[in-house]
Amino acid sequence: AQSVAQPEDQVNVAEGNPLTVKCTYSVSGNPYLFWYVQYPNRGLQFLLKYITGDNLVKGSYGFEAEFNKSQTSFHLKKPSALVSDSALYFCAVDGSGGYNKLIFGAGTRLAVHP
């Protein structure tokens, strides 16, 4: 069965420090992976996706994610965190082989402290 795990409910980081939000997945076939961010009272916003090619994917707002096939991981990273990055982050996998049927993880709350 297709699934996504986000092992951390919350990640705390100081402003200016690098951040990592972890995601592991289980899918049959080629993995199509996504990160979305959810700010309070707003809809989810797309950050980046991995389809194929370079394992390091760059996205919006300075975020990037590294696809690791052997570890079945797709961790979200940013070199220098901002207070405004504080939000709820969701990892998702397309479990339908390219038909955009997303399976989301439970989410990780990122708190960036001044």
Q: Which is nearer to another protein, 39 or 79 (CB)?
A: 39
Q: Least CB distance from residue 14 to another protein, whole Å?
A: 26
Please count the helices (runs of H) and the strands (runs of E) in the chain.
0, 12
Residues that bind another protein (CB under 8 A): 4, 32, 34, 36, 41-46, 49, 51, 90, 92, 94, 96, 98-102, 104-107
Q: Least CB distance from residue 107 to another protein, whole Å?
A: 6
Which residues have C-beta within 8 Å of that of residue 99, sequence separation ≥ 6? none
Q: Which is nearer to another protein, 34 or 74 (CB)?
A: 34
Q: Least CB distance from residue 106 to another protein, whole Å?
A: 5
Q: How many CB atoms lie within 10 A of CB 2?
A: 17
Dihedral angle computed from the Cα positions of residues 12, 14, 19 and 25, in that order, rounded to the nearest 10 degrees: 0
Encoding tokens for residue 75? 């961790």
Q: Which is nearer to another protein, 79 or 98 (CB)?
A: 98
